[in-house]
Structures are given as C-alpha cells and as structure tokens.
Amino acid sequence: MAQRDQTQQETAAPPTLGIGMVGYAFMGAAHSQGWRTAGHVFDLPMRPALAAVCGRDRAAVEAAAGRHGWAAAETDWRALIARDDVHLVDICTPGDSHAEIAVAALEAGKHVLCEKPLANTVAEAEAMAAAARRAAARGRSAFVGFNYRRVPALAHARRLIGDGRLGALRHVRAVYLQDWLTDPASPLTWRLDKDRAGSGALGDLGAHVVDLAQYLAGEPLVAVSALTETFVRERPRPAGPSGGLGGGAAAGGTGPVTVDDAAAFTGRLASGALASFEVTRMAAGRKNALRLEINGERGSLAFDLERLNELSFHDHTEPAATAGFRRVLVTEPEHPYLEAWWPPGHTLGYEHTFVHQARDVVCAIAGGTPDVPTFADGLQVQRVLAAVEESAAKNSVLTPVTL
C-alpha cells in the first residue's frame, strides 16, 4: 500500500468549536462518532470539542457522556444551550422537539445542526427556516442532517451529474426499503406515534430519498401523486423505557399505529423528468436498501446504500459493444472525502457519513463553502412530504409542491 504522506507540519492549533448534543440514542451515537473522528482524519479549520450532551435522565445521560466521549452532561436542553462552551447545538431528538430547541438555540446565538426530518409539520419547519434566516444575519448557521449526501458515492454522483455526464434527465427512481416492522408483533415505539415522529416511513425514509433525488438531479420536485398505507394498525406496547429524549411509553397491551408503514409516490421534477419513490418498513429481507437510479440522455447512475462504496455508472456515449454499467468502487483519492481515508479498495461504512457531515459543518462555519444542506433545504423537503400526505389524502391526485 502506498503510504500516506504525514509530513505536513501542523502549526498553530485551530480554534475550538464546542458541540452540545441533545439526545443520545442511535443518532446521538452516530453523531458522537462523527464529532470525535473528523479532526483525526481531515485537516479542519476548527477543532470540534464534545462539550456536553443532554438527556432527561441524569444517570442515563451521564453514562452516555462517558460512553461517547462528551465532557459534560446536562438534563435540560435550555441549560445546554446556555453553556458558553457550546457553540453549535446538535439536535438528535425525535421530530416533535426539533423546532423548539432549534429556534431557541439559534436565538441564543448558536449554530445548529438538526436531524432530519427537519420538523413534524411544515409550519414548524417554516418557523425554523425563519429563525435560521434571522440567525444568518448574525453569522449563525443552521444545517439539517441529510447525511447520505456525504456518502462518497453519492457526492461523486452529484459531481458526475453536475458535469453533464448524464445529459438531460429522464427518470429518477428511488426506494428506501427496510423490514423491521414486518413482524406484526414488533413493538409500538415512539417512531410509530404521529405526535412524536410526525410520520412513519415517509418522514424517516422518504425524507432521505426526496432530498437525495432533488440533490442529485439538481432540481426540485414540482408535483407528487401518492399512496400511503398502514398495514398493521395495532401493535404491542413496549415493555421498558427507551433511551434519551426518545423514550418512555407505558408497558403492556396494544396501541394504535398512527403513522404510515409505507408510501409509494410518483412525481415530476422541474425539468419534466419523471420520478418514482417507494419507502417502507415492511420489505422482508431488505435492511437498509436505499436504492437510487437516475437515467439521462447521455448516461445513467445507480446506487444501493447496502453497498455504499459502489456507484454504478453507465456512459451511454460509449460504443455498444463495450458499454455497460460500471461498478465504480468509490475509494479512490479522486473521489469525494476519500483522499483523507485509506488506500483504494479499503471501504467505508455507514457512520462515515457523520464524520463527513462533521467535517462539512465545521468547514462551512469556518467560512468555507462546502455543500451543506440548510434549514431552507429541510423546509423544502418538508413541503414535498406534506404534498405527499395531501395527495394520499385526496385520492392520489397530483399535488403541487409549495414553492
């Protein structure tokens, strides 16, 4: 293996960017890994410091702080925001608390990174975007965690499309298939509660594919037609409390599922390209199958998150005798983010998207211009999801996406 050149001198220590994270369950663990690692891999203009983590249960949040490397623990997110050593608030809670925490943090002069979906309603997302605009005037940034944009293969796909390698786009098709609700006995967690989660597969998985479709195509969806479905309408209540801010249903009996299990929708992009989407948590055997394909007049791209180091690329300008989808192993130094990692062929995983997100957020705050999605992007995706729900409620009629 070619050795990495380690000879560059590091001179003056970069300034610190103190992070305060709210929530420490799955997303919190992933974000922690991102903040801990980014500075060891990338040359960053600021050094992220894991200042404090926040959760409601004192013992649990202290344990999480120890586990994930946070210097302090808080049990009140307002106290977290108030800390001087916190410069960026990272919101990893369920969607029902995003707006309140984000707006308060921005008003307190903090930068914010908020998990997707940005909010549970368009109204909340609009309020957040408005707060972000006000904060921008004071030099504060507000980002939304569409981490899959930082999968190197997808960042590379965006480059290829931006370079015109696909020509005029004809089709975008995307599915995001999981199977953890296949079993009707799977418990009723907060993710199945509309009040907490906003929606089901649509907000959790649909937000990702809608964002990616628009990001890769470089243009918005203008209208959608949708079907949604809840196949299993009652599920057993879970026995114990769940972690962090996510938690705490009472045990025993069954309760109603108030979100969608699945959604299938079609749409048109601004250019006239056709789009089709399907998201579900009941595709037995599909664990994390976010699959995208984009067809253009000059070529096509395909991707599967379960094989996230690979991008399939078909160059339609090649002679037919040797044309075909290429399996590009996106591990070359020429590929986005890869120069900082391992030699060609040495693959990355899911969590690297959070390392890349940490890098991009730090660079953006330090004045660079990486392509980091903002609250405005989160709001626009929220509007697409709202149009999906509206169409599903109106017999699938093609429904425009609010500009």
For residue 394 the two structure tokens come to 């109106």
Residue that has been written with the tokens 């405005």 in this structure: 376
Pick one of 20, 34, 48, 296: the residue that binds a second copy (CB under 8 A).
296
Site for a second copy in 346-365 (CB under 8 A): 346-352
Nearer to a second copy, 139 or 319 (CB): 319
Q: Is residue 229 within the footprint of a second copy (CB under 8 A)?
A: yes
Nearer to a second copy, 246 or 373 (CB): 246
- In the complex, the smallest distance separating the C-beta of residue 214 from a second copy, rounded to whole angstroms, is 17
Q: Is residue 395 within the footprint of a second copy (CB under 8 A)?
A: yes
Q: Is 337 left (phi over 0), alpha (psi -120 to 50) or beta?
A: left
Nearer to a second copy, 59 or 123 (CB): 59
- Give how far the C-alpha of residue 369 lies from the chain's centroid of Cα atoms, to the nearest Å: 19
147 vs 138: CA distance, rounded Å: 26
103 vs 119: CA distance, rounded Å: 12
DSSP string, 332-352: STTSTTGGGS-STT----TTH
Nearer to a second copy, 33 or 402 (CB): 33
Site for a second copy in 250-289 (CB under 8 A): 262, 264-268, 272, 274-276, 278, 280, 282-289
Alpha helices in 147-260 (DSSP H): 152-162, 194-197, 201, 207-217
Instruction: Choose the binding region for a second copy from 121-129, 173-181, 360-368, 377-385 (rule: CB under 8 A).
Output: 173-181
Instruction: Choose the binding region for a second copy from 71-79, 299-307, 371-379, 382-390 (rule: CB under 8 A).
Output: 299-307
Q: Is residue 75 within the footprint of a second copy (CB under 8 A)?
A: no
- Give how far the C-alpha of residue 22 lies from the chain's centroid of Cα atoms, to the nearest Å: 16
Contact 166, 299 (CB under 8 A): yes
35 vs 18: CA distance, rounded Å: 10
Instruction: Choose the binding region for a second copy from 80-88, 209-217, 368-376, 393-401 (rule: CB under 8 A).
Output: 393-401
Helix or strand or coil: residue 103? helix
Pick one of 100, 107, 179, 219: the residue that binds a second copy (CB under 8 A).
179
The number of residues that bind a second copy (CB under 8 A) is 126
DSSP string, 171-190: EEEEEEE--TT-STTS---G
15 vs 20: CA distance, rounded Å: 16
Site for a second copy in 41-60 (CB under 8 A): 57, 59-60
Write the interaction track for a second copy spanning residues 125-154; mark x where CB under 8 A is met and - where it is not. ------------------------------
Q: Is residue 316 within the footprint of a second copy (CB under 8 A)?
A: yes
Q: Is residue 390 within the footprint of a second copy (CB under 8 A)?
A: no
- In the complex, the smallest distance separating the C-beta of residue 137 from a second copy, rounded to whole angstroms, is 36
Contact 236, 253 (CB under 8 A): yes
Nearer to a second copy, 164 or 342 (CB): 342
Pick one of 72, 136, 329, 364: the residue that binds a second copy (CB under 8 A).
329
Site for a second copy in 19-38 (CB under 8 A): 24-26, 29-30, 32-33, 36-37
381 vs 149: CA distance, rounded Å: 14
